[in-house]
């Protein structure tokens, strides 16, 4: 269990680091600074703290899930799609400035994490609660991206 947790932590935090390469420069860019942002946009430090917490919780979820879920192939595919969507949003939004594509990516990611929650609930039960920070943050992030899309 500990080894799997460490593996998922390394993968998830590594992906977070990869995505942050685009985010850190993107947030300070002229393009992002000029955008009309949602009034409920949290302070910048919140994003890093939230994502680290989310990835820790998601790693715990995946480590437990690995032990309890029978169809590992589906779990791996869903995990990899989640990873791809999560990392892809950063360059799509911050580097290429594609607000609509970013919004679609984050909506797909939200749907995928919602699928994780309900599809594996019968097996994982309360372990699924480790997905709630991810889901809550994705709803917030989707609203921020959507606001930017509509107001700019």
Domain holding 18, by residue range, is 2-151
What is the mean pLDDT of each successive set of 10 residues along the chain, which is 152 residues long? 95 92 81 96 93 98 95 97 97 95 99 98 97 98 98 97
Which pLDDT does position 19 carry in this prediction? 86
Cα separation, 66 vs 79, whole angstroms: 11
- How far CA 99 is from CA of 52, 59, 91, 144, in Å, comes to 24, 28, 11, 11
pTM here is: 0.94
Domain count, the chain: 1
Q: In this structure, what DSSP letter does residue 57 have?
A: H
Distance of CA 46 to the CA centre of its chain: 14
Cα separation, 23 vs 106, whole angstroms: 15
Instruction: Look up the CATH number of the domain holding residue 96.
Output: 1.20.1260.100
Cα separation, 40 vs 52, whole angstroms: 21
């Amino acid at each position: 269990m500990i080894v799997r947790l460490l593996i998922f932590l390394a993968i998830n935090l590594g992906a977070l680091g990869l995505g942050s390469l685009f985010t850190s420069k993107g947030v300070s860019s002229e393009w992002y600074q000029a955008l009309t942002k949602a009034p409920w946009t949290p302070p910048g430090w919140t994003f890093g703290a939230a994502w680290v917490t989310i990835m820790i919780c998601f790693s715990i979820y995946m480590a437990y899930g690995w032990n309890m879920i029978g169809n590992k192939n589906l779990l791996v595919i869903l995990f990899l799609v989640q990873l791809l969507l999560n990392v892809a949003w950063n360059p799509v939004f911050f580097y290429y400035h594609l607000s609509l594509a970013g919004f679609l990516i984050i909506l797909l990611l939200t749907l995928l994490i919602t699928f994780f929650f309900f599809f594996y609930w019968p097996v994982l039960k309360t372990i699924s609660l480790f997905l709630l920070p991810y889901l809550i943050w994705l709803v917030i992030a989707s609203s921020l991206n959507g606001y930017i899309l509509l107001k700019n």
